[in-house]
Amino acid sequence: MGTQARELRVIVIGAGMAGILSAIKLRETGIGDVVVYEKADRLGGTWRENTYPGIACDVPSHLYSYSFALNPDWSRSFSDGAEIQAYFERVAEEHDVVPLIRFGEEVTGCEWRDGRWHLSTAAGTRDEADVVIAATGVLHHPKYPDIDGLDDFAGACFHSARWDHSVDLDGARVGVIGTGSTAVQITGALVDRVAHLSVFQRTAQWIAPLDNPPYDEETRRLFREDPERLRGVHDSLSVAFEGFSLCVVDAASPAMAAVEKACRDNLEQSVSDPDLRERLRPDYRAGCKRLVLSDNFYEAIQKPQAELVTEPIERVEAGGVRTRDGRLHELDVLVLATGFHADAFMRPMGVVGRNGTELADVWADRPTAYLSISIPEFPNLFLLNGPNGPVGNFSLIEVAELQLAYVLQLVDRLRSGECTEISATQAATDDFEDQRLEASRNTIWATGCTSWYLDDRGVPAVWPFPFARFREEMAAPDLGAYEQV
């Protein structure tokens, strides 16, 4: 194999956090031919799609920032969705990658033929690339609940990720189905606006306390004037979150016990009515489901206009939600905060690799990828925040940055002419999967609850090792794990 420099054309799918990152870094490494396909008319990914009242990121903003674009002006420790969306738009503009984005172009097909990826979009565009980076997001496809009569509801009904801002909530009787991170944020934001709020809880959630003070102007000025101070905050938060990874992957650890105690104390200290407290108390370990953080949920649910409904839902009717005890909870608006199809990833896009290998077949049981990045027989296709990666209560920005730095090292081999095709071997993928399954058993996510972390077998479909191992793996690819042609 020669080592001739090669001009590469790279297509990035998705202009969310990871897609913008990819565009910026690909250009920085000197790849001039970069195109980003985005199905919507605006960048921002999850922050564009989720606009529900109360939306915020429960990862501190100074950590949930690109390491190369730290933001001295975050308004609070945990900023709201609109501020985060504005941040991504500003960073994309400042790095001049907006012109690379083709908006309103949903990639529907992606086929490896004659040594290149051939893409097609819903709008009929055809394009080709040497490398494809799938930055298509994790929690992207809304999951609608399978509840009888949902279509019979006479009022407004929408999923939390499809918020209908034309619906007037002030003084309305609102129902929220779900008690995940989304529903908890919605509850805190809506309770003082509505006439009545019914929160339909199928499974109680542990809630860790969250302190969300605003940054005053003086603090922001110091961050502006002293970038080292700002970086120090980012780095120390990163270390703290790395510590969190040690407890969730070791359910028996004292650190995990301390997190659980904090959740129990939060419940005891925040909820005064013993009956309500018991109905809010989960019967599984804290952290088993993705930990919810909130500074206002317990306060909100104790307000007179709020009601926690624990009786199971029988069906939805024109007038509201009927619970199994026969009671009709009359509603004007019904919000479905029922989560996402977390295992969809690039799907339903039709992806066809070498020799006609269909991703739909490879992933028929469940999605897998070597180190969550590369799939055997799908050369030069790299996934950011792909299957089984570190997604639980971490900064996905940090995850994507580490993954992209790794991917760029593989891309470098293509650029230098060291190879023209690169993808993980089946053996490396199987070996990684075996290790992952083994380690999963010790994690808090496998201690007996249902959650979107679990695959169809009940195995946590997330990175089950300490975050430090992720850093190490991402530092430099083990080329022995790759087939290079």
Using CB under 6 A as the binding rule, whether residue 286 contacts ligand NAP is answered as no
Using CB under 6 A as the binding rule, whether residue 245 contacts ligand NAP is answered as no
Give least dist CB 189 to ligand NAP, A.
12
Binding residues among 331-370 for ligand NAP as defined by CB under 6 A: 337-340
The secondary element (H helix, E strand) that includes residue 427 is helix 426-440
Q: With respect to ligand NAP, which residue has the nearer C-beta, 294 or 380?
A: 294
Q: With respect to ligand NAP, which residue has the nearer C-beta, 203 or 425?
A: 203
Give least dist CB 384 to ligand NAP, A.
16
Using CB under 6 A as the binding rule, whether residue 39 contacts ligand NAP is answered as no
Number of residues engaging ligand NAP in binding (CB under 6 A): 28
Using CB under 6 A as the binding rule, whether residue 77 contacts ligand NAP is answered as no
Rounded Cα distance, 141 and 348, in Å: 10
Rounded Cα distance, 306 and 201, in Å: 13
Strands (E), 264-398: 292-294, 306-309, 313-317, 320-323, 328-330, 333-336, 350-352, 381-383
Binding residues among 451-480 for ligand NAP as defined by CB under 6 A: 452
Using CB under 6 A as the binding rule, whether residue 180 contacts ligand NAP is answered as yes
Q: Which of 450, 468, 476, 479 binds ligand NAP (CB under 6 A)?
A: 450
Task: Please tell me the chain's helix, strand, coil percentages from 3-state DSSP, rounded to the nearest 5.
Answer: 35, 20, 45
Q: With respect to ligand NAP, which residue has the nearer C-beta, 119 or 292?
A: 292
Structure-token pair, residue 293: 């953080």
Kind of pairing between the strands at 313-317 and 320-323: antiparallel
Residues in CB range of 66: below 8 A, 6 or more apart: 21, 24, 91, 397, 401
Name the CA dihedral angle for 35, 38, 41, 47, rounded to a multiple of 10 degrees: -120
Give least dist CB 446 to ligand NAP, A.
16
Q: With respect to ligand NAP, which residue has the nearer C-beta, 339 or 379?
A: 339
Using CB under 6 A as the binding rule, whether residue 429 contacts ligand NAP is answered as no
| The one segment of 52-60, 87-95, 365-373, 377-385 that binds ligand NAP by CB under 6 A | 52-60
Residues in CB range of 326: below 8 A, 6 or more apart: none
Q: How many CA atoms lie within 13 A of 388 on its CB side?
A: 26
**Interface mask (CB under 6 A) for ligand NAP, residues 141-170, using x and -?**
----xxx------------x----------
Task: Write the CA distances from 313 to 158, 318, 323, 465, integer angstroms.
Answer: 17, 14, 4, 38
DSSP labels, 199-252: EE-SS---EEE---PBPPHHHHHHHHH-HHHHHHHHHHHHHHHHHHHHHHT-TT
If one counts every other C-beta atom within 10 angstroms of the C-beta of residue 307, the result is: 16
Binding residues among 292-331 for ligand NAP as defined by CB under 6 A: 313
Structure-token pair, residue 425: 């071997």
Contact 424, 374 (CB under 8 A): yes
Rounded Cα distance, 430 and 433, in Å: 5
Q: Is 255 helix (H, G, I), strand (E, B) or coil?
A: helix
Give least dist CB 47 to ligand NAP, A.
10
Using CB under 6 A as the binding rule, whether residue 288 contacts ligand NAP is answered as no
Q: How many CA atoms lie within 13 A of 49 on its CB side?
A: 22
Give least dist CB 452 to ligand NAP, A.
5
Give least dist CB 336 to ligand NAP, A.
8
Q: With respect to ligand NAP, which residue has the nearer C-beta, 160 or 429?
A: 160
**Interface mask (CB under 6 A) for ligand NAP, residues 192-211, using x and -?**
--------x-xx--------
Kind of pairing between the strands at 292-294 and 422-424: unpaired
Rounded Cα distance, 114 and 132, in Å: 15
**Interface mask (CB under 6 A) for ligand NAP, residues 79-98, using x and -?**
--------------------
Using CB under 6 A as the binding rule, whether residue 175 contacts ligand NAP is answered as no
Using CB under 6 A as the binding rule, whether residue 385 contacts ligand NAP is answered as no
Using CB under 6 A as the binding rule, whether residue 139 contacts ligand NAP is answered as yes
Using CB under 6 A as the binding rule, whether residue 219 contacts ligand NAP is answered as no
> What residue is closest to ligand NAP based on CB?
180
Give least dist CB 150 to ligand NAP, A.
10
Q: Which residues of the chain form contacts with ligand NAP (CB under 6 A)?
A: 56-59, 139, 145-147, 160, 177-183, 185, 200, 202-203, 290, 313, 337-340, 450, 452
